[in-house]
Amino acid sequence: MTDTLDIGVLGYRFMGKAHANALARLPMFFPDAPAVNRRVLIGRDEAALADATEQLGFDGYSTDWETAIDEVDAFYNLGPNAIHREPSIAALDADTAVLCEKPLARTLDDAAAMRDAAARSDAVAGCAFNYRFVPAIQYAKALIDDGELGEIRQVRGRYLQDWLLDPDAPWSWRLSEEVAGSGALGDLGAHTIDLIRFLVGERAGPITRLSGQLQTFVDERPDPDGQPGETREVTVDDAFTAQLAFENGAVGTLEASRFAAGHKNDHAVEIHGSEGSLAFSLERLNELEVLGPDDRGYQTVLVTDESDPYVDHWWPPGHVLGWEHTFVHENYEFLSAVAGDGSFRPSFEDAYRVQRVLDAVERSHDAGEWVSLD
């Protein structure tokens, strides 16, 4: 592998911009990061692709992901969920590193095939659960691992948005089971499941069984590509809830919605233990609420000191970070693993474990009963 990593990115809209921005920031703030070259941007609409290539600082573009894979050291699969499987497996079979957006796949079978491809490949494979790389989350992980909360008793996770509240909001691929696999469950719930596994997995053990419910509130939406008045069917959930049981006896709840009025991007977790508790909200991502055994109430910790995870690369204490910085941290860790022939987490195995929970929620909803993940 050369001293400079050539990067190919499939997708140039929301996630494409987030990762392109992270790649551009790396040499400025993480001088020990591997040198990268934004080699090729991949998509289908050639005119839009050409504009995005210039805007996002790539050398060129391609409408053929198969050819592009052979030209790069790392392949970022940021497309819709239905195209996660084939390009990612092809890249891994060519021993090209892969960073794939979440959820790993549209279905559990696809996720299993991707996990297996990663296991037989010599290349690094990671899933882009970027919220692991919030400094406050890293701080919380250290507290839990050090036993500061004692035995884990209860976990609460929610991810609430309101961008579908208007019934006239247009249809998109995220509302198609054929393309997305699921709705709020996979789009939002996958993030929360991964955070919970990351934070308490070593102390509470895996989720052993759960009870889940899915709900769709608006069955049809205006077709943005159709004639006036034409609609397309919504075939995924708009919201879900689940009850969880962990191996150590802890209990948990999950919820996610794209219909929660007043919530733009409210991703929150609470962990309650025998000796203390903590709470985090993405809407205040520089803060962590911590309750120790001798505290009479929660203490707000501002996680912006130089000694806090990643913060020494940025600004003086108290100069807060934002959502986009999580992608810089994620790219730093992933590309460092690629350049150093190391390992990266969350791995495809981690992402497959998340997909098992997503699948169990759907199975529980269909059966109307608790289901096991054993």
Give CATH for domain 4-130: 3.40.50.720
**Domain residue spans of the chain:** 4-130, 132-367
3-state SS record for 209-250: EEEEEEECCCCEEECCCCCCCCEEECCCCCEEEEEEEECCCC
The amino acid occupying position 77 is N
Helix, strand, coil percentages, rounded to 5, for the chain: 40, 25, 35
d(CA 126, CA 132): 12
d(CA 345, CA 99): 11
What CATH superfamily is the domain 132-367?
Dihydrodipicolinate Reductase; domain 2 (3.30.360.10)
Residue 134: partners with Cβ closer than 8 Å, 6 or more residues away: 280, 282, 285, 326
The whole-model pTM stands at 0.96
Pair 252, 193: CB distance under 8 Å: no
The amino acid occupying position 258 is R
List per-residue pLDDT tens for the chain, 374 residues long.
458 999 999 999 999 999 999 999 999 999 999 999 999 999 999 999 999 999 999 999 999 999 999 999 999 999 999 999 999 999 999 999 999 999 999 999 999 999 999 999 999 999 999 999 999 999 999 999 999 999 999 999 999 999 999 999 999 999 999 999 999 999 999 999 999 999 999 999 999 999 999 999 999 999 999 999 999 999 999 999 999 999 999 999 999 999 999 999 999 999 999 999 999 999 999 999 999 999 999 999 999 999 999 999 999 999 999 999 999 999 999 999 999 978 999 999 999 999 999 999 999 999 999 999 97
